[in-house]
Amino acid sequence: MEYTFSSKAKRFTLLLVVAGILLFGLGLAVDSDYKYADEHTGLGQRLWADLLGNGFFFFGISFGALFFLGLQYVTESAYTIVYKRILEAVITWFPIGALVILAVLFAGMGHMHHLYHWMDPEVYKETLENGAKNPVFDPIISHKSHYFNFGEGPDAGFLLLRFFGFVGAFWYVAKTFRKRSLQEDAEGGTKIHFKNIAMAAGFLVAFGYGSSVLAWDIIMSLDVHWFSTLFGWYVFSGVWISGIIMTICLLIYLQSQGLMSWVKKGHIHDLGKWMFALSFLWTYLWFAQFMLIWYADIPEEVAPYVARLQDYKFEMFAMMLINFALPMLFLMDADAKKRKGLLLVVGIIIFISHWVDLQLLIIPSSMKEGGKIGLVEFGMFLIFLGAFLFVVLKALAGRPLLVKNHPYLEESKNLYH
């Protein structure tokens, strides 16, 4: 059975984009005389920060889905096979999301914004040309000049090398998984299955490094004087659960269209369990990072948290409580995880809440105390969501919804829970 991207669904994605543009414009009008923190953190900076925040969020959804797909291959799991095509559709946004992030990085290198303090070449110079001391010299960033691409010599461009290396490799893996899935439909046998396992195993190793390195480079370096060793996992756990929620929502949408009748309660239950469990993975990492820094109370470590607790206290604790308490209270019961309506409602709320979480990693760092999560941000979120859904549904419509000839297809169809 195939999914057809109906004009109604197309209109819905278009509606999201239009609503997003309207909210975006309304937000700009409302905030026309808004006081920003200083001349570096004006409206332009705000828009670039929003572009980064939304670009990374939707990039992360594809990234999380790609990781999940690779995980299924390596563990030779059966339970996801019947809705594997949804995961394969979600990963099609990966290159587009990467392009948005790349645009923000390049704009920063061209000094169109000041999101990244380390992109300013002045902070690396100890003395000025006339021999006097450089007032903006930053010894801490300067020590990291080999890691960023502003060092002189052979390591120049290391940042872009990392970005292109990891993203390029992951994109290749995503494309190959998609290609082989159709190939397996046509050919059958177990050859492709074993090739997928080998490739996914290599991918997961690269992913272990890549997910952390990308999170450091793109998000953690916004606060260049601050670092946290579990930051990569923390960001990743947030995008992973967003990817799972996106999969659940698409699955429920397809079933409401009368498709995917082979997906049973047990499959929904398994996805519900992932949503429940990943909420606690995220909470655990959030709290582990917060508590250690709060307890040690070392000035250079607490600075970003102080900034957030002073100016973004409500957003921070509201999103923390929602992301933790909502799944815990509503999804603890085994029967609750099988109820599609409940999964959809809880899923959408924590999806938005995880989006707020990611914005809170970016906006306080780039906008200082003058930032806010308002209509402009939410409008851009809707624009991205509409575009994302358009790309994903288009990819979904291009191929049959059920794989053929996968070795675990029968087991997956007759899943016992």
Partner 1 sequence: MSTVIYAMYDDDHVLLNGAKKVVSKGIHVTDVFSPFPVHGIDDVIGVRKTRLAICAFIYGLTGMSLALIGMRYFMIVDWPMNIGGKPNFSMLQNLPAFIPITFEFTVFCTAHGMALTYMLRNKTLPGMKAKNPDPRTTDDKFVMEIHVEESKEAELIALLKETGAIEINKKAA
Q: Tokens 């704009």 label which residue?
A: 107
- If the CB atoms of residues 255 and 289 are measured against partner 1, the closer one turns out to be 289
Closer residue to partner 1, CB minimum distance, 194 or 317: 317
Minimal distance in Å, beta carbon 251 to partner 1? Answer: 24
Task: Indicate the angle between helix axes 313-331 and 340-367, nearest 10 degrees.
Answer: 160
Q: How far is the CB of 406 from partner 1 (least distance, A)?
A: 21
Smallest gap from residue 294 Cβ to partner 1 (A): 5
Token readout for 136 is 């903006």
Gyration radius of the chain over CA positions: 22
Nearer residue to partner 1 within complex by CB, 198 or 334:
334
CA-based nearest residue to 262, from 251, 270, 276: 251
CB of 18 to partner 1, least distance (A): 44
Closer Cβ to partner 1, 35 or 295, answer by number: 295
- Would you give the distance in Å from CA 220 to the centre of its chain? 14
Distance, CA of 103 to CA of 97 (rounded, Å): 10
Task: Compute φ and ψ for 6, nearest 5 degrees.
Answer: -70, 160
Cα-based angle 104, 109, 114 (whole degrees, multiple of 5): 70
Residue 320 vs 393, nearer CB to partner 1: 320
- Contact residues: partner 1, CB under 8 A: 287, 290-291, 294-297, 332-334, 416
Q: Which is nearer to partner 1, 172 or 287 (CB)?
A: 287
Asked if residue 50 lies in contact with residue 367, where contact means CB atoms within 8 angstroms, the answer is no
Residue 331 CB, nearest distance to partner 1 (Å)? 13
AA letter at 357? D
CA angle 117, 118, 120 (to 5 degrees): 80
Of the two residues 45 and 412, which places its CB atom closer to partner 1 in the complex? 412
At 133 the three-state DSSP class reads strand
Question: Between 197 and 309, whose beta carbon lies closer to partner 1?
Answer: 309
Q: Which is nearer to partner 1, 171 or 290 (CB)?
A: 290
CA distance 382 to 30: 18
Query: What's the closest the beta carbon of residue 79 comes to partner 1, in angstroms?
Result: 13
Residue closer to partner 1, measured from CB, 201 or 291: 291
Gap between the Cα atoms of 349 and 363, Å rounded: 21
DSSP string, 202-271: HHHHHHHHHHHHHHHHHTGGGSTT---TTHHHHHHHHHHHHHHHHHHHHHHHHHHTT--TT--HHHHHHH
Minimum Å gap between C-beta 293 and partner 1 is 10
Residue 55 identity (one-letter amino acid): G
CA distances from 100 to 218, 226, 309 (A): 12, 25, 29
Q: Which is nearer to partner 1, 137 or 284 (CB)?
A: 284
- Cβ atoms of 255 and 340 within 8 Å: the answer is yes
Q: What is the distance in angstroms between the CA of the first residue and the CA of the last residue of the chain?
A: 25
Least distance from partner 1 to the Cβ atom of residue 34, Å: 33
In angstroms, how far is CA 379 from the centroid of its own chain?
A: 18
In angstroms, give the least distance from the CB of 140 to partner 1.
25
- Nearest distance from C-beta of residue 340 to partner 1, angstroms: 21
DSSP state at residue 414: T
CB 74 within 8 A of CB 201: yes
Smallest gap from Cβ 192 to partner 1, in A, equals 29
Point out which residues pair with 198 in neighbouring strands: none
